[in-house]
Amino acid sequence: MKKTVFEGMATALITPITENGIDYDAFARLIDWQIEQGINALVVAGTTGEASTFSDDEHRDAIDFAVKYVNGRVPVIAGTGSNDTNYALDLTRCACESGADAVLVVTPYYNKATQKGLIKMFTTIADASTVPVILYDVPSRTGVSIKPETVAVLAEHPNIVGLKAASGNISEIAKTAHLCGDKIDIYSGNDDQTLPILSLGGKGCISVLSNLLPNEAVGMCEAYFAGDIHKAAQMQLDFLPLIDALFSEVNPIPVKAAMAKMGFCEDYLRLPLTPMEDATRAVLYEEMEKMGIN
């Protein structure tokens, strides 16, 4: 059986950015707070971290900083995917050299690829990586989905250990779980589907919500793993209005606004992303207040 990178909640971390670049002091404070709140793992340079607008140096430096600053306190998973396989290989090698615990590799966007192409690409990256690889399926952003049968083929690779399932298609995720068994760990990539995926044997969630509520999000998984299904389900339902607000505009626009309100960063995004609209911001702040988030 393959080694599990983490169980429970991994925060898909925002990256504090100013007009001058990444704010590493703010990044350090955010990392410390997440760990103090009991988060199970951290994902850096992912979708929520705005890695798509990083320069090459920023991408490498953000991963290297996070790994060294965390210093083994929790697993660090580095986003190293690209639509250019050679660039993904380069980022993956850099993450391995930095000491990341795993890499998260998204399906190729824009050029998309066939299922055969996906198998070849992920296999090439997994062959080159010295750390475990987690596949990232998010067709709403990339235009291509990893089919359950494709995941089953990839799950045979000794270095491909996980799947971040953000398709939203529970039937496909269930089929993936059926085909793969214990050969791959499945993580929810959608906060509103954490409990359904746990019920299918999932190991946890790579979460946007836990930027704001790390302790509570971890508690939901802990309740489920402890057998208190009713408590975990009620927490999932209680979180739904805030989750909806966090996705009322494209991620990470709302979570950046929320974290700025909490004092962790500036409400600054790089184009083509722009700050949250007043109407959706008001709803987000209202839901944060209901959850006791100041």
SS (H, E, C) 122-176: HHHHHHHCCCCEEEEECHHHHCCCCCHHHHHHHCCCCCEEEEEECCCCHHHHHHH
What is the domain range of residue 84?
8-230
CATH label of the domain that carries residue 210: 3.20.20.70
Percent residues over pLDDT 70 in the chain: 100
Q: Is 231 noted as a catalytic residue in this protein?
A: no
pLDDT over threshold 90, residue 294: no
pTM exceeds 0.75: yes
Model confidence pLDDT, tens digit, residues 51-79: 999 999 999 999 999 999 999 999 999 99
Residue 121 is predicted with a pLDDT of 97
**Bridge partners, 134 (sequence order):** 104, 162
Residue 58 is predicted with a pLDDT of 97
Q: b/e for 10-28, b at 16 or more Cβ within 10 A?
A: bbbbbbbbeeeebbeebbe
Q: How many domains, in total, are found in the chain?
A: 1
Residue 182: pLDDT band (50, 70, 90) is: very high
Taking residues 158-163, report their average pLDDT.
98
pLDDT over threshold 90, residue 2: no
Residue 149 is predicted with a pLDDT of 98
In a domain, 269, yes or no: no
Whether 27 contacts 265, CB under 8 Å: no
In a domain, 206, yes or no: yes
In whole angstroms, give the CA distance from residue 176 to residue 92: 25
Selected catalytic residue, list 68, 69, 112, 164: 164
In whole angstroms, give the CA distance from residue 264 to residue 246: 16
Model confidence pLDDT, tens digit, residues 71-115: 999 999 999 999 999 999 999 999 999 999 999 999 999 998 999
In a domain, 212, yes or no: yes
Selected catalytic residue, list 87, 109, 112, 136: 136
In a domain, 224, yes or no: yes
Residue 113 is predicted with a pLDDT of 95
Q: Is 116 noted as a catalytic residue in this protein?
A: no
In a domain, 249, yes or no: no
Q: Which two tokens stand for residue 148?
A: 């359950």
Neighbours of 110 (CB within 10 A): 8
Tell me whether residue 292 is exposed, middle or buried, using C-beta atoms within 10 angstroms of its C-beta: 0 to 12, 13 to 18, 19 or more.
Answer: exposed
In a domain, 236, yes or no: no
Residue 70 is predicted with a pLDDT of 98
pLDDT over threshold 90, residue 240: yes
Residue 22 is predicted with a pLDDT of 97
pLDDT over threshold 90, residue 1: no
Residue 260: pLDDT band (50, 70, 90) is: very high
